[in-house]
Amino acid sequence: MSETTFTPRVFSGIQPSGGLTLGNYLGALKRFADAQNQGIQTIYCMVDLHAITVWQNPEDLRNNTRELCAGFIASGIDPEKSILINQSQVPEHAQLAWVFNCVARMGWMGRMTQWKDKTAGKNAEAASLGLFAYPALMAADILIYHATHVPVGEDQKQHIELTRDIAMKFNHDYGVDFFPITEPVIEGAATRVMSLRDGTKKMSKSDPSDASRINLTDDADAISKKIRKAKTDPEPLPSDAKGLEDRPEARNLVNIYSALSEQTVDQVLAEVGGMQFGTFKPMLADLAVAKLTPISSEMARLVADPAEIDRILARGAEQAREITAPILKKTYEIVGMIG
């Protein structure tokens, strides 16, 4: 492991591939805002280079990147307190990624479950080379800042483990103690928000059923309807967390309530244990509407001024490069690049 003590620094990213879900909010954005308010340096990124590992319509990509930036700010990330960037505007990410492409092994990449899921049942030969190399770019995103902590949802855990492997192999291959061994931060009740139609499937923007997810752009009516129609079982809610085992849909709704109300699952169950879903669902719907609709109206207000978003991102890129340029320079020196 590392002998050097690195200054605590938080980094995380989200793909601007269109649409933010309640999963993105509870698993990522809300936790990013919490981390920002703990006095640690925080850097948050729209990862457009990752998005193009599958083809994106250029006009959509531009709009989605701005909308995502609005989503970050509307969720409480303050550009005066955090550095907010668009990945392609900080070229050191892609430059370090190339070095990491030469450190990471094909076998490591082939074992990534997201790669396997995305190519399952399809012709893997037709997937882009970028999709295969995706986790090496993600490692570069994190390590170009010497970030020590990365808040993510459960589904990104394996990628952070790979980031640690890349840092260790680089440090070992070059006999240095240069890159930190980053910690994933996967905490709270909502690090894996599940589909409202199937409690065993992750809530995802790519699910063909819109009823399976709450979008951050949904209005009060849509949020309430989706929660009222969410799949459940016929039993009343249990009074302790053990009673949620083998009840994926019930567990998911309780986890969502817990994360939105900032109470532990035990606290929630102390309040709602014994209740029927007919009573609990309207409570959850009211809570979700109260927490989410101010975010969607703030997002709408912010996207109406794209020039302001572009200014925020340009300033973020400048601040970011003060950190990334010296780290890339030092990396090149370690590797033996001259000049």
Stretch that binds ligand TYM, among 13-21, 217-225, 238-246, 326-334 (CB under 6 A): 13-21
Residues touching ligand TYM: how many (CB under 6 A)?
25
* 150 makes contact with ligand TYM (CB under 6 A): yes
When the beta carbons of 63 and 239 are compared against ligand TYM, the nearer one is 63
SS (H, E, C) 45-98: EECHHHHCCCCCCHHHHHHHHHHHHHHHHHCCCCCCCCEEEEHHHCCHHHHHHH
> Considering the complex, what minimum distance in angstroms separates the CB of residue 298 from ligand TYM?
19
27 binds ligand TYM (CB under 6 A): yes
Q: Which is nearer to ligand TYM, 91 or 273 (CB)?
A: 91
Q: Of 48 and 237, which has the nearer Cβ to ligand TYM?
A: 48
Tokens of 91: 């070229």
Which one of 81, 157, 169, 205 is the catalytic residue?
Answer: 205
Is 202 an active-site residue?
Answer: yes
Listed residue (265, 270, 226) closest to 247, CA to CA: 265
Distance, first Cα to last Cα, the chain: 31
Phi, psi of 153 (to 5 degrees): -80, 165
Using the rule CB under 6 A, which residue among 30, 146, 149, 202 binds ligand TYM?
Answer: 202
Would you state the structure tokens that stand for residue 194, as one six-digit string?
A: 């599940």
Q: How far is the CB of 137 from ligand TYM (least distance, A)?
A: 7
Q: Does residue 142 bind ligand TYM (CB under 6 A)?
A: yes
* b/e map 83-117, b = 16+ CB within 10 Å: bbbbbbbbebbebbbebbbebbeeebbeebeebee
Contact code string over 169-198 relative to ligand TYM, x by CB under 6 A: ----------------------xxx-----
Residue 118 is a catalytic residue: yes
Say which residue the tokens 């690049």 belong to.
337
Residue 115 near residue 151, CB atoms below 8 Å: no
Radius of gyration of the chain (CA): 21
Residue 36 interacts with ligand TYM (CB under 6 A): yes or no: no
Residue 92 within binding range of ligand TYM, rule CB under 6 A: no
13 touching ligand TYM, by CB under 6 A: yes
DSSP single-letter state for residue 44: E
Contact residues for ligand TYM (CB under 6 A)?
11-15, 23-24, 27-28, 47, 50, 138, 141-142, 150, 152-153, 155-156, 159, 191-193, 202-203
